[in-house]
Structure 1
Amino acid sequence: MKLISRITLLLFLAIFSGKTYAQTVYAGETTVDKANLSGLYLTLQGDGKQIEKDWEEQLKTYGRLSASRGTYRIPNADIQAISSEPINLVSTVKSTKTSATIFVSYDLGSGNYVKTGGTGYSAAEQILKDFANKSLFGQEVRLVEGSFDEAQKNHQKMVKKGEQLQRSIEQNAKEKERLLKRIDDNAKELEQLQKDIETNKVDQTNALTELENRKKNVEAVKAKKSN
């Protein structure tokens, strides 16, 4: 079943191979540690845990990152596309086996958040769209590489089985040769036994003649004593 599921997902991804992944980024708010934050949302389908790892790796490029239970913080993020000044970045990720929802808040200072139509919004939106394309493409690559590895292992398994079968054929041929030799030896032994039987019949006849002759001798000797 795992193989069928992977093949189905592979075919789905192949349809979109080489194209830009259409992902929706939208503005919203959330509460992090009792603080109400404005920011942007992005939901991606796929391996949620892997998407979260990919996002964490991207966040590390912006500055010193601290992470705790799906919440990520960079107090002095350097994201020139959004602002030339340091940004207080807070992000959360909620992931499942089949998707991940990313929220990211950019505080430009004094609670001045990146919002729809405001400074840096287009750049912030593009960052998430670019990440979506990169992450989903990475998933596609890992999927096809995994499928290739699986096919390669299966091929190696079949080659190994072929080698085992070839060894079995060779062993069978040797066993056949051994059995044929035994049959030949058995036929020769039978032929010799039959000859021995014929010789034994002659020997029995000769022995019987000798027995009768000696019996006559005994009787002749006894007859002399009587006289």
Structure 2
Amino acid sequence: MKKILFHFILLISIHSYGQTKKEILVSPAHTVVEKVDRQGMQVLIELDEKTVTKAWEQKLKEYGKVESGKNSYVIHGAIVAGILNPATIYSTIIEDKKGTIVFWAVDLGSQYVTQGHEHYIHLQNKLHDFAVQTYIADVNAQIATAEGALAASVKNQHKLLKEGESLKKNIQQNKQEKINLENKLKSNESELTSLNNKAALHASNHKASVENNNTEEQQKVLKEAESVRKSIEKNKQEKINLDNKLVENGQDLTKLESDAEDN
């Protein structure tokens, strides 16, 4: 139950986080890509480098064939919607203490697209949209993970409850079986007492004769008494086994209830 509550609260928190408007700022910048200082723009995305890099590499493929170098990406003959002529895109990703910086410079052949250029706002919006999409994808991934964990916890909770109900039934059955055995033992002991008395009576009535001490009827009584003694011993052992099983059942039930509470 604790895990279910935790995952439910986490899911609500992620939904709330996803609805919080992130401040996304695309600003003019320059940095070295392929050993040359490039003029362009950058955006800070407050996510880990691995997540951002994977998303950015996928995004760059939309513009053309990507040539990857050491922490750099170059696309020659890039086709950017909204820009008539093919361009060369230079990009890099920089890890920052606040997150991950994505930089790109777009070379139209005669100049880079910098602040004031007719295509600057257009490219700025594209970088901004990428940041938005990356945040949305991250939130959706977190939601999917939280929903999966919640579903798993609920499923496990149902399983534990089902096992608990089954164990309770077993305990009740074992308790009833123990009562039946105790009643059977009482009946056996009463029968044994009766048979012993009967055997003693036969011996008393015929103590004058050795042959009479071994009459067929007396032997039959003694055999029945021995059979009852064995039955008593067997039932006593079964009762001991049941007592042990009930102790184990109780321990298992306690553990299941604890697991269900923690789940």
Same fold (TM > 0.5): yes
Number of aligned residue pairs: 207
CA-CA distance at 1:64 after TM superposition: 1.1
Alignment of 1:21-32 (within 5 A): 21-32=22-33
Q: In the alignment, does 2:93 pair up with 1:93?
A: yes
- Give matches, 1:1-227, under 5 Å: 11=13, 14-15=16-17, 17=19, 20-81=21-82, 83-95=83-95, 99-110=99-110, 112-210=111-209
* CA distance in structure 2 between the aligned counterparts of 1:69 and 1:150, rounded to whole angstroms: 37
* 1:160 shift after superposition: 1.3
Q: More deviation in 63-72 or 187-196?
A: 63-72
How far did residue 197 of structure 1 move?
2.2
Q: Residues 24-53 of structure 1: CA distance to partner in whole angstroms, max 9, x if unpaired?
A: 111111112221111101111123311221
In 2, the alpha carbon distance for the partners of 1:4 and 1:190 equals 58
1:181-205 residue CA offsets vs partner (Å, 9 max, x unmatched): 3222212111101101221231232
In proportion to residue count, which structure has more helix? 2
**Any stretches of 5+ residues in structure 1 without a counterpart?**
212-227
Please state whether the residue corresponding to 1:92 is helix, strand or coil. Answer: strand
Give 3-state SS (helix, strand or coil) of 1:41's partner: strand
Question: What is the CA-CA distance between 1:90 and the residue it aligns to?
Answer: 0.9
Give identity over the alignment, percent.
Answer: 20
* AA matched with 2:101: T
Q: CA deviation at 1:56?
A: 1.4
- Closer, same or farther in 2 for the Cα pair 1:27/1:96, shift >3 Å? closer
Check conservation: 2:11, 2:143, Cα contact below 8 A: no
Q: Give CA deviations for 1:127-171 in whole Å, capped at 9, x if unaligned.
A: 111111111011111111211111111111111111221222232
- List alignment gaps of at least 5 residues for structure 2: 211-263
Report if the CA contact (8 A) 1:49-1:95 is conserved: no
Structure of higher RCO (CA pairs closer than 8 Å, 6+ residues apart): 2
Q: How far off its partner does 1:6 sit?
A: 11
Aligned equivalents of 1:9 and 1:26: distance in 2?
Answer: 33
Displacement, 1:91? Answer: 0.7
Letter in 1 for 2:13: L
CA RMSD of aligned residues (A): 2.8
Looking at structure 2, the residues matched to 85 and 52 of structure 1 have their Cα atoms a distance apart, in angstroms, of 27
Aligned letter for 1:124?
L
Shift of 1:172: 2.1
1: CA distance, partners of 2:154 / 2:98: 30
Q: Is the 8 A contact 2:53 2:93 kept in 1?
A: yes
CA–CA distance in structure 2, aligned partners of residues 70 and 50 of structure 1: 15
Are 2:7 and 2:146, in contact at CA under 8 Å, matched by a contact in 1?
no
Paired AA for residue 33 in structure 1:
E
> Displacement, 1:89?
0.1
| Greater mean alpha carbon deviation, residues 65-74 or residues 129-138 | 65-74
How far the C-alpha of 1:9 sits from its partner, in A, is 9.6
Tell me the amino acid that sits aligned with residue 163 of structure 1.
K
SS at match of 1:127: helix
The alpha carbon displacement at 1:125 in A equals 0.8
Residue type at the aligned position of 1:144: I
CA separation of 1:184 and 1:13: change in aligned 2, threshold 3 A: closer
Distance, in Å, in 1 between the alignment partners of 2:28 and 2:98 is 23
Partner letter of residue 206 of structure 1? N
- Matched to 1:120, the amino acid is H
Q: Residues of 2 paired with 1:121 and 1:67: CA distance?
A: 24
Q: Output the amino acid matched with 1:68.
A: G
Q: Please name the residue that 1:214 is paired with.
A: none
**Cα pair 2:14 2:142 within 8 Å, conserved:** no
